[in-house]
Each structure stands twice: as structure tokens, then as C-alpha cells.
Structure 1
Amino acid sequence: MTTLQYQCAMSLDGFIAGRDGDMSWLDTGTAPGETNPLVAQVGAVLSGARTYHGDDPNAGTEQEGGYDGQYTGPTIVLTHHVPPSAPPGVTFADDLGKAIELAREAAGDRLVSVLGADVARQCIAAGLLDEVLVHLIPVLLGDGVRLFDNPGGDPVRLEVLESGPLMVRARIVR
């Protein structure tokens, strides 16, 4: 079965985006021409609307777009406002279950990369998120979008599957 994996980069103080969704602080560490190893594992992206329309730190360069411009597969965008048309390779959905179904179908036996804190939170609440992959970036942002923000919610237990320098991959314990 396809794995739904929340993938993000996070500042050391727990933010995945700066104030107002700012991503200019993000340096993925992938040099131009270097292949991001996640690209080969991802069969589809499930993105929130804010993330999809967000601030790309590589805007205007050859590295613009997902995974430093290397991802060209299907993208499903969860949004409250489905536009009448979509760019090639992009599908908009206004229902979480339908968006996940479309992403799983598109991904085949590869990962569905979940992008966006709110979409990941919704997937966790629905019991549908399988893993979390966090790359730590050595910066302190002080404010912004938290990795997981669920005031008053229950703790989510994680089992570490893999860790390395500035990276943790964990499974959601059900």
C-alpha cells in the first residue's frame, strides 16, 4: 500500500515556514544539477493550497518548484476553492478523502508526499498519515507556521524509523 508521508524542512525552533508563509530562509542543500534523493521515491504530492501557492525560495531559477524543480509528477491540491481549470499535472480537490484517494492512485507503489502543515494535521486527525519526515535546518525563525499545531489536541506518538544528521523519519503509532 502507498505510504502517506508528511515531508518538511523545519527550523530548529519548530517552524516549517516563516511569518506569512515565508520560505526564503530555506536552503535544501541540493546544489544545482544534484539530484534530490526523495524525488525517485515520490509518486504524487498532496499539497495544501497555501503550500501550493506559497513562497518558493527558488522562484525565478532553474530550481523553482518541488524538490528544487526536480519533481514533475502529479500534484493534488486540497483547497476550499477549486478553480475552474488546473495546470497540467495538477488536480484540485475540496475533500480530504477524495484528495488522498487521487494521490494514492497517482502514486502507485511510491510515496505520497504530504506538503503543508494543515493538510498533515488533517491527515493525522483522520488516522490516514503513515509517516513524518523532517529535515532540520540550522536557523531560528522565531515565528511562523509550526510543524504540528493542534492546541488542545491529543499527543501523537511516533516511532523513529530512521535518523541521521539533521533528519528524522518516524511512523505514526496507531
Structure 2
Amino acid sequence: MPRHSGIRVDVASLDGYIAGPGGDMAWLTEHLTGDNPTAERLLANVGAILAGNRTFGGDDPNRGTDSEGAFGGRYHGPVFVLTHRPPAQPPADVTFVGDLHSAVAHSKEAAGEKYVNILGADVAKQCLRAGLLDEILIFFAPVLLGDGVRMFDDPGGARVRLMPLPGETAHWYSVVR
């Protein structure tokens, strides 16, 4: 895998939601089972995670189990959280950063030659608007949620062209600048 400065990965419902009403992620539990060679290959090439504060503190469908956390609890590496409100006692293995450009720079440095995996609809939107998002990878789950948090909800936003990455799975795109 070539090095890219950022990749947005989502599991989305077929109607384009990444979370249910109120940010509920419990719907994902039944869709996170089974082998997925693309997800396995991606996990092996993630060098850092950049997440939004709502995603970081959100409703993990695997909370309280061995599968809690990114990639079903199998990701163990640097995590950066973009927020203006860091917790009073932050976890030792998480870095909280107050502005987008610094958060991206820190996560890219920590990732080295690997991917920065971006988690959170708002952070992805900010990265896309700032020209900091290179790729988008989406896994679609066979469900219609009908309501919730949309994958790329940006009313009044600019049109963004995407190009399928040659030789990759469906729904893995590069952002055309």
C-alpha cells in the first residue's frame, strides 16, 4: 500500500448513515462479524487514528467487551482526538489536540509511512474542506437505518470529485484535487 496522509473509513448503512439516531452505534454489532480481507489489509497499514471527540467518547457497539475500540479492539497504536474540550484526566495513550492542522500533522508524523485513519463525521468533513483528506473507504452494511448521522453531511458544501483506486475494492476512492 502506498503512503497517503489520510483515509476516511466508515461502515455505513445503505441509506448513508454511519450512526443511528442520537449517535447510536449498536446497529453495527451484527455487521462487524466475518472475514473482510480489505479491512484486514487496512488494519495492518494504519499507523495512527485521528478521531473527533464525539466519536472518541461515543457509543462503541463493543463497549465492555474484548472487541471495544477501533477495528473491533484490534488496533493498538497512536490515537489523536481533535477537540477544544479535552478531559481533565485524559487517558495516557491518547493525545488531545485543539486544532485541525496540528491534529493532522501530529497523526501523520506518528503514522510514518502508514495511513492515518480518520474516525468521525465532523473530523472527516473538516479534513475534506481543508484539502487534507486523500482517500475514502466505505464498507456498506445491508441495512437501512432511516435516520441518524449521515456519512458526509455538508449542507452548502462544495462538490468533491472522487476516483476509484485502481486494483482496490469497490468504494475505495482517492479525492481528486
Q: Which is worse superposed, 21-30 or 102-111?
A: 21-30
For residue 79 of structure 1, what is the aligned residue in structure 2?
83
Provide the rounded CA distance (Å) in 2 between the counterparts of 1:37 and 1:117.
Answer: 23
Provide the rounded CA distance (Å) in 1 between the counterparts of 2:134 and 2:9.
Answer: 11
Q: Which structure carries more helix by proportion?
A: 2
For residue 172 of structure 1, what is the aligned residue in structure 2?
175
2:128 corresponds to which letter in structure 1? I
2:142 pairs with one of 138, 142, 145: 138
- 1:1-174 equivalences under 5 Å are 2-26=4-28, 27-30=31-34, 36-161=40-165, 164=169, 167-174=170-177
Are the counterparts in 1 of residues 11 and 140 from structure 2 also a CA contact under 8 Å? Answer: yes
1:41 corresponds to which letter in structure 2? N
% same residue: 51
CA RMSD of aligned residues (A): 1.6
Provide the rounded CA distance (Å) in 2 between the counterparts of 1:70 and 1:8.
Answer: 16
Unmatched runs of 5 consecutive residues or more in structure 1: none
Provide the rounded CA distance (Å) in 1 between the counterparts of 2:107 and 2:89.
Answer: 18
Are the counterparts in 1 of residues 4 and 134 from structure 2 also a CA contact under 8 Å? Answer: no
What is the CA distance between 1:2 and its match in structure 2?
A: 4.0
SS class of match (1:72): coil
What is the CA distance between 1:38 and its match in structure 2?
A: 2.5
Q: Which structure carries more strand by proportion?
A: 1
Distance 1:138 1:11, change over 3 A: same
TM-score, normalising length: structure 1: 0.91
Unmatched runs of 5 consecutive residues or more in structure 2: none
What is the CA distance between 1:119 and its match in structure 2?
A: 0.2
Are the counterparts in 1 of residues 5 and 132 from structure 2 also a CA contact under 8 Å? Answer: no
